[in-house]
């Protein structure tokens, strides 16, 4: 006689990295909501304020499904909440360490930070499978923010070389913070790095050299995005 | 022979006060979104942050329909935008003039400000008719914020008499600002006061005495709300 089938609950056992990856996406959603809402509150005029407020709200929508999936696979609700909260603190460092001097630096900060975190999350989502992958992909679906920021920033940059030079410098400064945060996240959570195909010896901390494939990818995508603004990364 | 019927466009001609009332509701939506998002960003823990972020997003949803109605009846898009922007500045004074010292004062500020502005808007909506009234009613449909804040604040207030005393004082201070703003709005926009049934001589500025029926109503509703927190207004 064959073995009885595994109970259904086995289908909901989390793969390694699955819970932290979804917790990171949940934290990213909250961080992005807060940043866009804050940008909206600083908008110099009404239409921008409305657009950014709406994008903030839209960015939050997929959180429902991420939370639902975490409830299905998570160890327990409190542990999952602690993990989301911890990621939120790490992501918040980006905004704390980069104070924009004007509206344009603020928009570039959002453009760069949103881009790097999204790229990191896409990379991690690529290591997920099944329902968690589907949930992650939905959460990472763009709300049109990147295109909107390009359309807003590009004409200003094209018409003001002095501002363009300043924003190029600023872009280098803020992407340094963003990549630094990505690097620290992966070092502190080797199970996330493993989703991106990077494994160490399981004992020593992952080195920047070992993380290079991911960090180089994030940097290359950032350069491409700066190119869309007409800036050299 | 009878007169030809009025052209259809007449149906979309704005009644007095209709445009400013909807512009005020649009501005209130944006102000409330910004305040709740800012509260969410200051939350001491994850669940509160998620709830307040979601309520902020939900609060913004009816803006679509308000904007659409304004486009139908408004004089021109730019004039309407200017009016919303001006109301936004007046409403923002509430937050600028009231800096909470801790999380509980912050929640009471939101509770009081949201309550007074909602009550003012409900009063004005009562003077609208047809589609504009329907749009206003939908926008003023509660997202459950008041109940949530009562459920959050009441146990803390009941268990800490010293905090209760401080929050009662704070409530008096912030409601003073809120009622002051309502009063200035009605004085600067007699067509709004008219929606609430208050008309002056059309020349002199409305006096606080003339505005008393509305301001007394706002104060009475505020007292009732403070009672729900276990505080004396």
Per-position DSSP letters for A119-172, written without gaps between them: HHHHHHHTT--HHHHHHHHHHHS--SHHHHHHHHHHHHHHH-HHHHHHHHHHHH
- Interface check for B41 against chain A (CB to CB < 8 A): the answer is yes
SS (H, E, C) A40-109: HHCCCCHHHHHHHHHHHHHHHCCHHHHHHHHHHHCCCHHHHHHHHHHHHHHHHHHHHHCCCCCHHHHHHH
- How many CA atoms does the CB half-sphere of A56 hold within 13 Å? 34
* Helices vs strands, H then E, count in chain B: 10, 0
- Interface check for A212 against chain B (CB to CB < 8 A): the answer is no
**Could you read off the pLDDT of A71-122 as tens digits, one per residue?**
999 889 999 999 999 999 999 999 999 999 999 999 999 999 999 999 999 9
Chain A contact set for B50 (CB, 8 A): 30, 63, 67
d(CA A78, CA B37): 23
- How high is the mean pLDDT in each 10-residue block of chain A (233 residues)? 50 82 97 97 97 96 95 92 96 96 98 96 95 92 89 98 98 97 95 93 86 97 98 91
**Contact between B206 and B198 (Cβ < 8 Å):** yes
What region, left, alpha or beta, does residue A28 occupy, with left being phi > 0 and alpha being psi -120 to 50 degrees? alpha
- The closest alpha carbon to A24, from A97, A67, A90, A84, belongs to A84
- Of the candidates A38, A60, A88, which has its C-beta nearest B57's C-beta? A60
d(CA B223, CA A199): 62
- The closest alpha carbon to B223, from B158, B187, B179, B157, belongs to B179
Other Cβ atoms less than 10 A from the Cβ of B75: the count is 11
Work out whether the CA dihedral A26, A32, A38, A43 comes out positive or negative.
negative
A202 secondary structure, DSSP code: S
d(CA B148, CA A37): 21
- How high is the mean pLDDT in each 10-residue block of chain B (233 residues)? 50 82 97 97 97 95 95 92 96 96 98 96 95 92 89 98 98 98 95 92 86 97 98 91
Shortest CA distance from A83: residue in chain B: B46
d(CA B231, CA B166): 10
**Contact between A98 and A116 (Cβ < 8 Å):** no
**Contact between B49 and B107 (Cβ < 8 Å):** no
Name the residue with tokens 């109605």. Answer: B69
Q: Which two structure tokens, joined as six digits, stand for B30?
A: 């944006």
**Contact between B225 and B115 (Cβ < 8 Å):** yes
Chain A contact set for B54 (CB, 8 A): 60, 63
The pLDDT of residue B10 is 42
The pLDDT of residue A2 is 53
CA distances from A221 to A93, A122, A216 (A): 21, 12, 9
A11 secondary structure, DSSP code: G
- Interface check for B44 against chain A (CB to CB < 8 A): the answer is no
The pLDDT of residue B202 is 79
Chain B contact set for A55 (CB, 8 A): none
The pLDDT of residue B2 is 53
Chain A contact set for B84 (CB, 8 A): 46
- Of the candidates A40, A50, A81, which has its C-beta nearest B46's C-beta? A81
The pLDDT of residue B4 is 54
């Amino acid at each position: 006689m064959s073995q009885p089938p595994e109970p259904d609950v086995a289908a909901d056992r989390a793969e390694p990295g699955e819970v932290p990856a979804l917790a990171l996406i949940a934290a990213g959603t909250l961080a992005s909501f807060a940043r866009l809402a804050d940008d909206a509150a600083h908008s110099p005029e009404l239409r921008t304020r409305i657009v950014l407020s709406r994008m903030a709200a839209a960015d939050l929508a997929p959180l429902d499904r991420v939370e639902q999936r975490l409830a299905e696979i998570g160890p327990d609700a409190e542990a999952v909440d602690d993990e989301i909260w911890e990621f939120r603190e790490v992501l918040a460092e980006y905004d704390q360490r980069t104070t924009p001097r004007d509206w344009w630096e603020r928009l570039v900060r959002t453009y760069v930070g949103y881009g790097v975190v999204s790229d990191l999350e896409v990379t991690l989502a690529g290591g997920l499978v099944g329902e968690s992958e589907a949930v992650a992909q939905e959460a990472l679906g763009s709300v049109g923010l990147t295109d909107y920021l390009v359309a807003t920033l590009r004409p200003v940059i094209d018409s003001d070389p002095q501002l363009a030079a300043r924003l190029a410098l600023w872009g280098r400064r803020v992407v340094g913070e963003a990549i630094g945060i990505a690097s620290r996240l992966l070092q502190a959570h080797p199970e996330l790095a493993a989703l991106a195909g990077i494994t160490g010896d399981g004992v020593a901390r992952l080195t920047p050299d070992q993380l290079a494939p991911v960090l180089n990818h994030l940097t290359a995508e950032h350069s491409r995005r700066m190119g869309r603004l007409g800036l050299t990364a």
